[in-house]
Amino acid sequence: MKEKICVDEDAYVEGNSDVEVDFGKVRTDKNDDYDAYDPGTDSDGANSWHSLEMKTPPNSEDELEEETESDEVFPIFREGARFGELHLEVGMKFNTKWDFKEAVREYTIQEGRRIRFNKNDRNRLRAVCKVKECGWVIFASKDRDNTCWQVKTFRDDHSCAREDKNRAANRNWVASKLVKKVRKYPNFRHCDANTFFKTKYDLSLNRNSISRALSDARNLVYGDEKAQYAMVRDYGETLLKTNPGSTVEICTIPQPNSEVIFEKMYVCLSGCKNGFKAGCRPLIGLDGAFLKTVFGGQILSAIGQDANHHIYVIAWAVVEVENTANWKWFLELLHADLGDYKTHGWCFISDMQKVHYC
C-alpha cells in the first residue's frame, strides 16, 4: 500500500513510497522556508511551476494603470465654469501659475471679497484676505513631479462682509466679460454694461473703467481700425486676384515726412457688374450714409433691384465727406464699369441731382 505524506501549510503531496524522500529543511512549522522543493535547489525542476506562479513580477501595463488611477484622485481645474459655479479645493491641479492666479481672481469676485498676494514667486503663490481679522487663505505650489501647480492649503472661511466693489475686477477682466455682449449687440452702451455687471456679478464699477473696457472689447471684436486701414492695399489686391475683371481704385494723400493718408476708395466687383447687366431692372439708386467709426467718413453706394424686388449692390465707395466732387468721381468710375446709361436705358434714382455729373 502506498502512503501519502502531506506537509502542513505547504500542501505538497508525495505519492512514491518505494523511494526514500529526503525532506531536508522541510518542516511543519509555517514560519520555516521550504527549500527542499525550490527549483533553485532542485536540479530536475519538477516543481518549477509552483515558484514561477508565486514569483512572476506584475505586468508593466498593470503598473501604469494603477499609477494613472492614483493620479486621478486629485481634481484638475477646468476652464469655462459659469460665474457662481467656480469651485476650488485642496489638491486641485492647474497647468500653470497664471491659470491658478486667474482662477483665484474669478473666485474672489464671485464671493465678493478683496484679496492680496503676499507670496508670489516662481515656485509658490499665496493669497490672503485683505481684512486682517479674516482667516481666508489659499496656497499653491508646484507638485512633487514639478509638472503643474497644486493647491496645498485652502481655508475657505470668510469672517468679513461681502462688498460690491472689487479691484480684482480690473480692465482686462471687465473687457473679457464684455466681448460676448459686444459681439451679440453691436450697439451695447455704457449704461447697458453698468446694468449687466450690477445684475449678474453684483459689482459697482467705475464709469471710466467700463468705458476703457468697452473700447478694448470693441477692438477685440472688430479689430484695430488703424491697422485695418493700413491693409487697404492688400485688400484691393486680394479682390482683384479672387475676382478677375473687378475695379478697385484707392486714392491717398501723400505726406512729405510720414506715411500716406487714406483719402477714398472705390470697389465694383465683376460678379455684381455682370449680374446687374444680365438680369436686374434698369434702375440704379444712389445714396450716401455715415460711417460710425473712429475715423468717420461716409460710404457712397449704387444699388439695383433684381426680379424678386431685392436690393442688388453694384458698387460702393468710402470717402471723407459727401460732396459734389466725390459724387462726380464715383459716377465717372461707375460709368466706366457699366457703360453709357443712355444706351442701356437705365434710370437713376436719388435724393439729389447727382446724375447731372455722370
Based on C-alpha coordinates, what's the Rg of the chain?
41
| pLDDT, mean of residues 31-44 | 42
Distance CA 22, CA 4 (A): 15
Provide the β-strand partners of residue 266.
Answer: 249, 317
Angle (CA) 127-130-132 rounded to 5° is 105
Q: Is the pLDDT of residue 55 over 80?
A: no
Is 80 exceeded by the pLDDT of residue 230? yes
pLDDT tens-digit readout, 300-318: 999 998 888 899 999 999 9
Q: Helix, strand, or coil here: 142?
A: strand
Question: Mind listing the pLDDT tens digit for each residue in 100-157?
Answer: 888 888 888 888 888 888 878 888 888 888 888 888 899 998 888 888 888 988 888 8
Rounded to whole angstroms, how far apart are CA atoms 82 and 79? 9
> For 4-14, what is each residue's pLDDT tens digit?
544 444 444 44
Does residue 158 sit in helix, strand or coil? coil
Using CA atoms, how far apart are residues 140 and 120, in angstroms rounded to an integer?
10
At 248-267, the pLDDT tens digits run 999 999 888 878 889 999 99
Collapsed DSSP state (helix, strand, coil) of residue 81: coil
Share of the chain above pLDDT 90, in %: 20
Among 4-8, 65-69, 179-183, 354-358, the minimum mean pLDDT is found in: 65-69
Of the chain, the percentage scoring pLDDT greater than 70 comes to 77
Q: Where are the beta strands (DSSP E) in 23-123?
A: 93-94, 115-120
Mean pLDDT of the 184-194 span: 87
Place of cell 468705458: 211
pLDDT at 294 over 80: no
Contact of 149 with 93, CB cutoff 8 Å: yes
Contact 316, 342 (CB under 8 A): no
* pLDDT confidence tier of residue 3, bands split at 50, 70 and 90: low
Average pLDDT, the chain: 77
- H-helix or E-strand containing 286? strand 283-290
Provide the pLDDT for residue 236.
94
Of 217-226, 295-304, 323-332, give the lowest mean pLDDT range. 217-226
Q: Residue 287, CB half-sphere, CA atoms under 13 Å: how many?
A: 9
pTM: 0.49
Pairing of strands 283-290, 149-155: unpaired
